[in-house]
A and B are shown apart, each in its own frame.
Chain A
């Protein structure tokens, strides 16, 4: 189930599969298919007796998935691979909530256990919504430009304003920022976790989980600032990006529906609480008396006020700027006469600081050709983050097994008389074993004497 859900380190199939599928299929894969693993886990954990320590293990795996998923996402240059790694991250967040819920059930702490479960289950929905939105946006970019390589994109907002706007909304939602749905579910998980902090038996799990979840949020924000900035803002980095076109209405409508759902859950979280509550009580029938968190209503109001104030401020500032004199000029860039698109910060350089911090896990491959001599002929720098678990962990092991198997396979050559020889050798070995160790067997461990 964990392999199906794409949990670290069993996620190796996920990035390639989600990146190479057609984008609407990626949306289904990331939004729905990997949730089947979560569904299985939730179903069985609610029904089967859980071994001691299962909750801790799930939290640990969830934390590893969340932090390393987003770290690998930061190292990606391929738009859809990056989104796929974010699925690993979000599955991690869901499992943190679920794991804490399992701990809560073994300790009998219903109040916060219900909150983490509600957060995790709502995050299942939310992730389905905003990740599908992001994959559809990425698909629209791929359709318009023919490339997923972020270093070949840029400045797409001009030709694809709708896609850019929807993608930005999805990015805000997946970064867990208010006033959208991602924040609501993460907030519920946080509320539950802070409840766990106040119990002496669970504090040691909850404290690291909270700190790492907060860092995951900040890392996801960094990653999505990078994606939006590199893909949609600035200047086009290639002719394909410059010649992009907006996607058809038929592609915009699904994005609009998903975006509207993200906004709706963000602005009126209390409306969706009954559904979440039903799911929670279905998981554990004794948790029926968990009330609606009253703060959920207030959170909805704050979110609504935030949207109104934000839109108002943006409109007001825009109006003021227009009225006071509005002039377009080339980007200043500290005095360059003609900045070119190649001078822009790239995805790799944007994430450089963070991938450097995570180099111990990412193991990026670097090809550096430093400029030398007075008139350096050329210099280049390449960095590529591989699927480290697959390429550095599993593949070497698998190669070793294959090599061993190749040696063993030499025994099977089709000559019958040699096989007969094997039989004799085998029989002789058994006989020797029986004489050497088995000879004493019947007397010591045989049938008990009457």
Chain B
């Protein structure tokens, strides 16, 4: 019973806390530029507004156009629930769960790119092509970071890997993972979350034809992914976790 309650609580935290991050980022950017900027809770208002709106769907789109954002959202949420939160253990931890996390994010990518190609639009094809191409390099960086953590902790389960600090290569790993975070979450040097029609577009252009609740699912999923990467980065670098030795190391 407590496990179920804890699970629900954790789900609630992930769902509710995630949209805060883009708001904070925008606030910092506005502050840097000397503007006042949108309210921190802007994404919450946007999500509420989008959820109530109707949907316009391309005449070419199949049911996969709706399933894509849903599957991507579920995959990101699943990946998030595999992550331990500081001293709290993950909801479900087993050796090899870190690979499941990476591949769940890949599943989200597949679903998003699929939904983008549904519309037959050149712009969305372009965005999807860029997303899946750059993911190849990002994947290499992430798996190398995982290798580092696995080497450090002699383990392959997130709880044990994220518990100690990243050791001597901490700064390198932090910068590397931060770059991946920027790329995977479409932040500025790679993409610009504010523009839809610039040449920098990757993720934003993939969701060009999504509207209403579909767009809400996409935006919320993106916010969760940002929170996931931020939490992963912080825990990978800093010794936050519960580093009690556990029973099994290898499956």
Contact = CB atoms under 8 A, between A and B. Distances in A.
B98 to A, nearest CB: 9
A386 interface: no
Contact of A215 (B120, B125, B136): B136
Contacts of B212: 321, 324-325
A321 B62 contact: no
B58 A330 contact: yes
Given A233-B62, A313-B71, A332-B208, A177 B120 contact: no
Interface in B163-220: 196-197, 208-209, 212-214, 217
Q: Which interface class (under 10, 10 to 19, 20 to 34, 35 or more) fits A?
A: 35 or more
B242 interface: no
Given A178-B103, A345-B122, A329 B57 contact: yes
A295 interface: yes
A345 B92 contact: no
A326 B212 CA distance: 10
Contacts of B134: 353
B86 interface: no
Contacts of A215: 136, 139-140
Contacts of B128: 225, 229, 345, 350
Contacts of A349: 125-126, 129
Contacts of A331: 58-60, 119-121, 209
B197 to A, nearest CB: 6
A198 B121 contact: no
Nearest to B127: A345
Contact of B60 (A112, A155, A207): A155
A314 interface: yes
Say whether chain A's binding surface is mostly helix, strand, loop, or mixed. helix
B106 A175 contact: yes
Contact of B250 (A111, A235, A313, A318): A111
Contact of B64 (A168, A176, A190, A351): A168
A197 B132 contact: no
Nearest to B93: A298
A379 B224 CA distance: 45
A302 B92 contact: yes
B67 interface: yes
Given A177-B107, A306-B78, A313-B74, A235 B120 contact: yes
Interface string A311-329: 0011011101100111111
Interface string A281-316: 000000000000111101101100110011001101
Interface in B97-128: 97, 99-100, 102-104, 106-107, 109-110, 113-114, 116-126, 128
Contact of B55 (A111, A296, A321): A321
B147 A344 contact: no
B245 to A, nearest CB: 16
Interface residues of B, number: 80
Interface string B129-147: 1101111101110111001
A256 interface: no
Contact of A222 (B136, B151, B154): B136
A359 interface: no
A218 B110 contact: no
Contacts of A324: 52-55, 212-213
B70 A316 contact: yes
A301 to B, nearest CB: 8
Contact of B67 (A190, A229, A302, A314): A314
Interface in A179-230: 183, 187, 190-191, 194-195, 197-198, 207, 210-211, 214-215, 217-219, 221-222, 224-226, 228-230
Given A191-B95, A295-B96, 18 more contacts: A194-B156, A214-B142, A215-B136, A218-B139, A218-B140, A221-B106, A222-B132, A222-B135, A228-B117, A230-B117, A302-B78, A318-B66, A320-B51, A324-B212, A328-B58, A331-B59, A332-B209, A357-B133
19 contacts: A175-B106, A194-B156, A228-B114, A233-B62, A293-B96, A294-B251, A302-B92, A306-B74, A306-B104, A309-B77, A310-B70, A310-B71, A318-B70, A331-B119, A343-B122, A345-B117, A345-B122, A354-B133, A357-B133
Interface of B: 51-60, 62-64, 66-67, 69-71, 73-75, 77-78, 92, 94-97, 99-100, 102-104, 106-107, 109-110, 113-114, 116-126, 128-130, 132-136, 138-140, 142-144, 147, 150-151, 154, 156, 196-197, 208-209, 212-214, 217, 248, 250-251
Interface of A: 111-112, 115, 154-155, 157-158, 161, 164, 168, 172, 175-178, 183, 187, 190-191, 194-195, 197-198, 207, 210-211, 214-215, 217-219, 221-222, 224-226, 228-230, 232-235, 293-296, 298-299, 301-302, 305-306, 309-310, 313-314, 316-318, 320-321, 324-334, 339, 341, 343-345, 349-354, 357
